[in-house]
Amino acid sequence: MMPAARIIVVVLASVVATTTQAWALCPNCLGQNRSLTPTLELLGAFLLVPFVVGFVVLRAIRRAIR
């Protein structure tokens, strides 16, 4: 392995080894909030969209078959 690559590996290993906390991915995880933030409520609403669209399409198909 080249000397520059070894230095990079040593630096990365030392950075990873010295971290004491995991980085949270969302504000709820970071702050340990019991209530949902407006952003997470909006995200939850957007996650329901495919199921609502699927339900509407299924009803339309069933109605068209009759």
DSSP the chain: --HHHHHHHHHHHHHHHH--SPPPSSHHHHHT-SSPPHHHHHHHHHHHHHHHHHHHHHHHHHHHH-
Per residue in 7-46, pLDDT tens?
Answer: 888 877 777 666 655 555 565 565 665 666 777 778 888 8
- The reported pLDDT for the residue numbered 38 is 77
- The reported pLDDT for the residue numbered 18 is 66
Count Cβ neighbours within 10 Å for each residue of 20-59 and write b for 16 or more, e otherwise: eeeeeeeeeeeeeeeeeeeeeeeeeeeeeeeeeeeeeeee
pLDDT above 60 for 64: yes
pLDDT band at residue 59, thresholds of 50, 70 and 90?
A: very high
pLDDT above 90 for 63: yes
